[in-house]
Amino acid sequence: MKKYTEMTKEELQKELDVLNEKYKEYQGMDLALDMSRGKPCREQLDISMGMMDALNSHVDLSCEDGTDCRNYGLLDGIPEAKVLIGDMMENHPDNIIIYGNSSLNVMYDTVARAMTHGIMGHTPWCKLDKVKFLCPVPGYDRHFAITEYFGIEMIPVPMTSKGPDMDMIEELVSKDEAIKGIWCVPKYSNPQGYSYSDDTVRRFARLRPAAQDFRIFWDNAYGIHHLYDDKQDYLVEILAECKKAGNPDLVYKFASTSKITFPGSGIAALATSLNNMEDIKKQLKNQTIGHDKVNQLRHVRFFKDIHGMTEHMKKHADIIRPKFEAVLEILDRELGELSIGTWTKPNGGYFISFDSLEGCAKDIISMAKKAGVTMTEAAATWPYHKDPHDSNIRIAPTYPPIEDLKLATELFTLCVKIVSAEKLLKEA
């Protein structure tokens, strides 16, 4: 088919008339489809049901060091959970703190602690005139929500297929001591599905920030979330690189089992240097006597080791891979030759990032919603919900049943065509 950008005004109008008739048909279907969040579907949750049988009222609930997991103790987690999650995160158990069910909660606490008490003896951020954070864009809306909540100024940094613009990051952090951190989703990034290159990771490790309390908030949420056995992205381990570069305290690394077992009942963890751990524990011991050790034990007994977890993730991939492939097939078929959008084709993670023609994203999302498909709000992937291009849309394929997903994606591509044709007609 002819590219929309090469059509005459008359051809565009004729195309738009046909598209609007199709849209009316979708409106008559009374659809109610949700593609708004990256949630596991029911089938994914079902594969972890065996974890409910890993413990019962007759088994020994002591962990390997003899601690009774029903009681108080072990502030930073049971030893075998630190080994399991350490293997998942590619870090030594001594550098791991096991938390409750949410890594987002840990990130919030980490920012809050820096605000109220500072990092490793430095001035609490709340006492400074200005605190800034770098935000790779498009990025994770909930990261941006945390820094916005604390009144931290967010500075967008463009993402590339190899990670964020490191030239820009190096220059900014070296000159401005008000910049205290950066949000990162380094593997199968949210929403583009990009993984940072070896060079990007090593440049992060070699940063020389003006602020001594600058920290990289390294949210490796999708570290083992591959879609394919034979096409898996590889990520250089950041803590080891920081140690080599003489920057051992530069990173807070976060992860959880939220999209591995049950999102509401998983276990979260932080990996960092021993100096950072000591600083964190000073606060943590006043916040809790320990997190849910029974749940930690349940995870260990279910998986046994990292090999069990890896095999479990293959089951997840088998469920969601056809959904990603279905979305990509429809995008390619319906939009591939029209020059009105681009999209990523990730090897893992939970999202596909779509970029429309400039100025179209909000109208596309609105039009889809009026026909019964709810998607992530346009501009959610930018700080303050302000996408200066009004072009980025996050597609979340995992949750809907595949037939619903196909229908929703067909409608989405129709909305892209209509909004794009309207824009080009106005400009013709």
Q: How far apart are CA 414 and CA 334, in angstroms?
A: 8
Question: For position 144, what pLDDT does the model report?
Answer: 98
Is there a contact between 48 and 308 (Cβ–Cβ < 8 Å)? no
Given 289, 304, 319, which residue is the final one in a domain?
304
CA atoms of 353 and 270, how far apart (whole Å): 27
For the segment 333-353, the average pLDDT, to the nearest whole number, is 97
Which strands sit side by side in the sheet containing 352-356, from one edge to the other?
A: 341-343, 352-356, 392-395
Q: What is the mean pLDDT of residues 50-74?
A: 97
Q: Are 356 and 364 in contact (CB under 8 A)?
A: yes
pLDDT at 110 over 90: yes
Taking 90 as the threshold, does the pLDDT of residue 37 lie above it? no
Return all residues near 70 (Cβ < 8 A) that are at least 6 apart: 61, 293, 294
Tokens 């940094």 belong to which residue?
A: 157
The answer to whether residues 105 and 130 belong to one domain is yes
**Domain, as residue range, for 99:** 61-304
- pLDDT bin (cut points 50, 70, 90) of residue 428 is confident
Given a contact cutoff of 8 angstroms between Cβ atoms, the answer to whether 139 and 158 are in contact is no
Angstrom distance (rounded) from CA 218 to CA 271: 10
Asked if residue 337 belongs to a domain, the reply is yes
Residue with tokens 């929703």: 408
How do residues 382-419 score in pLDDT, each as one tens digit? 999 999 999 999 999 999 999 999 999 999 999 999 99
Please answer whether residues 247 and 173 qualify as being in contact, where contact means their C-beta atoms are separated by less than 8 angstroms.
Answer: no
The C-alpha atoms of residue 318 and residue 323 are separated, in whole angstroms, by 10
Which amino acid would we find at residue 154? M
pLDDT band with cut points at 50, 70 and 90 for residue 1? confident
pLDDT tens by residue, 146-191: 999 999 999 999 999 999 999 999 999 999 999 999 999 999 999 9
Clarify whether residues 296 and 398 are in a common domain.
no
Q: Evaluate the CA torsion angle 87, 89, 91, 92 in order and state its sign.
A: negative
Residue 51, in any domain of the structure: no
| Cα–Cα dist 250/212, whole Å | 9
Whether cis (ω within 30° of 0) applies to the bond prior to 191 is yes
CATH number reported for the structural domain that contains residue 107 in this entry: 3.40.640.10
Quick one: pLDDT at residue 22?
98
Burial state string for 7-17 with b = 16 or more CB within 10 A and e = fewer than 16: beeeebeebbe
SS (H, E, C) 203-265: HHHCCCCCCCCCEEEEECCCCCCECCCCCCCCCCCHHHHHHHCCCCCCEEEEEECCCCCCCCC
Q: What percent of the chain has pLDDT over 70?
A: 100
Residue 341 inside a domain? The answer is yes
Domain assignment present for residue 54? The answer is no
Backbone φ and ψ of 157, nearest 5°? -125, 125
pLDDT digits (tens, 9 = 90+) for 276-316: 999 999 999 999 999 999 999 999 999 999 999 999 999 99
Q: Whole-angstrom Cα distance, residue 231 to residue 300?
A: 28
In a domain, 53, yes or no: no
Residue at which a domain ends, from 278, 304, 330: 304
Indicate if 39 and 71 belong to the same structural domain: no
CATH of the domain at 391: 3.90.1150.10
Q: Are residues 267 and 250 in the same domain?
A: yes
> Which position has the higher pLDDT, 132 or 36?
132
For the stretch 243-255, pLDDT in tens is 999 999 999 999 9
pLDDT tens column, 210-238 = 999 999 999 999 999 999 999 999 999 99
Same domain for 92 and 227 = yes
Residue range 31-39: mean pLDDT, rounded: 92
| Mean pLDDT for all residues in the chain | 97
Residues 357 and 299 occupy one common structural domain: no
On whether both 34 and 103 belong to a single domain, the answer is no
Q: Do 107 and 160 fall into the same domain?
A: yes
Whether residue 16 lies inside any domain: the answer is yes
* pLDDT of the residue at 296: 98
Please state the domain count of the chain: 2
pLDDT tens for residues 281-292?
999 999 999 999
Q: Is there a domain that residue 71 lies in?
A: yes
